[in-house]
């Protein structure tokens, strides 16, 4: 049976160092959106688009910025970053059951592997030669961990995760179901009309506090390692090619792809469906908007976009036809300007 939790507003304010305006004894037993929260629940306002929902919310309390406090019809917890504060509070209401410590009888573990006694190894797990699972790590059902891997302290492989070989996870990493880390990179050499496979002799290294989404793939390096530094967050169904280096605190949204040997800096944001070609560098603090293609190195921080926004099909066809004549038009304009300057 799940035991429902509750916290007073005073407790939440003190625990997360927030300023409270309202009844400190008010009990909070859950969280919800501004539109759907019920009495006894806590909500938040971080995006101005939802400001219109604040006045009608039924939540008992709302986390918001000080400038929004006067519009709230209920108690408030004031935060300079309401979304982050709400995330920390919401974590208190997580009802996920704790996994049992120890090795499930159905797990298969190579005799050369090292498993910390405090780790949890779930059903049908395979752990290969010379692999190490550190303290309080959690390996969920059906995971496959190959040879020469390291699962760091408190790291969590949710279920059906595959670490192929030479994958090293730092502390507090979270790998979601279906992710594959350490598969062969796409290395091929053409010789006499046939492809020759280039051996992938490197590995994959994740720093501390990294998160990898469901069905994401991260290839191991050809000669050196593919590296994700601390606090890199990657969404579902993302492809990271071999020998890619991703700087700390960078986030990559779903269905993006990064080709081999690309280097992405720290605090970058790569939006959904974006692509990064191989062998280029992106400096720190760059944002790439959705469906954009990065074809050259970016050396200046800022926001970058490419692609054509959605249009009606009739308009798109007309514009596409004209696009084919864009170079010709530009040459004609330039030629006309040159003739005017001569005259």
Among residues 242, 249, 296, 325, the one annotated as catalytic is 242
Query: Buried b vs exposed e over 196-209: b needs ≥16 C-beta within 10 Å?
Result: eeeebebbbbbbbb
Active site residue 242: yes
Question: How many whole angstroms separate alpha carbon 36 and alpha carbon 160?
Answer: 34
Question: How many whole angstroms separate alpha carbon 98 and alpha carbon 89?
Answer: 19
The kind and range of the H/E element at 315 are helix 313-323
> Which single residue is written with the structure tokens 């290839």?
219
Which of helix, strand or coil describes residue 270?
strand
> Which single residue is written with the structure tokens 């790569």?
270
Question: How many whole angstroms separate alpha carbon 18 and alpha carbon 133?
Answer: 38
CB 258 within 8 A of CB 276: yes
Question: How many whole angstroms separate alpha carbon 206 and alpha carbon 227?
Answer: 6
Question: Among the residues of 176-307, which ranges form H helices?
Answer: none
DSSP category for residue 96: P
Which of helix, strand or coil describes residue 82?
helix
DSSP category for residue 339: H
Residues catalogued as catalytic? 242
């Amino acid at each position: 049976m799940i035991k429902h939790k509750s916290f007073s507003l005073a407790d939440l304010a003190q625990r997360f160092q927030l300023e409270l305006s309202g009844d400190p004894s008010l009990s909070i037993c859950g969280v919800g959106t501004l539109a759907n929260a019920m009495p006894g629940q806590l909500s938040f306002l971080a995006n101005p688009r939802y400001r219109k929902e604040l006045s009608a919310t039924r939540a008992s309390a709302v986390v918001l910025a000080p400038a929004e406090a006067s519009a709230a019809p209920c108690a408030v917890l004031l935060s300079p970053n309401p979304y982050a504060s709400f995330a920390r509070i919401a974590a208190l209401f997580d009802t996920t059951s704790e996994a049992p410590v120890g090795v499930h009888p159905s797990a298969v573990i190579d005799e050369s592997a090292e498993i910390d006694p405090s780790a949890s190894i779930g059903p049908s797990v395979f752990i290969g030669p010379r692999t190490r699972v550190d303290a309080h790590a959690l390996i969920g059902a059906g995971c496959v961990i190959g040879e020469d891997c390291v699962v760091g302290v408190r790291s969590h492989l949710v279920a059906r995760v595959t670490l192929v070989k030479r994958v090293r996870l730092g502390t507090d990493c979270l790998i979601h179901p279906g992710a594959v880390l350490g598969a062969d990179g796409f290395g091929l050499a053409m010789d006499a009309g046939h492809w020759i496979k280039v051996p992938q002799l490197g590995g994959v290294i994740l720093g501390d506090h990294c998160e990898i989404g469901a069905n994401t793939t991260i290839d191991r390096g050809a000669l050196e390692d593919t590296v994700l530094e601390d606090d890199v967050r990657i969404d579902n169904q993302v492809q990271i090619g071999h020998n890619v280096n991703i700087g700390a605190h960078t986030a990559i949204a779903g269905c993006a792809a990064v080709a081999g040997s690309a280097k992405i800096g720290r605090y970058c944001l790569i939006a959904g469906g974006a692509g990064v070609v191989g062998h280029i560098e992106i400096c720190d603090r760059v944002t790439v908007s959705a469906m954009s293609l990065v074809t050259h190195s970016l050396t200046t921080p800022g926001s970058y976009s490419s692609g054509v926004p959605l249009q009606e099909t009739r308009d798109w066809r007309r514009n596409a036809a004209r696009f084919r004549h864009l170079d010709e038009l530009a040459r004609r304009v330039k030629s006309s300007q040159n003739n005017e300057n001569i005259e």
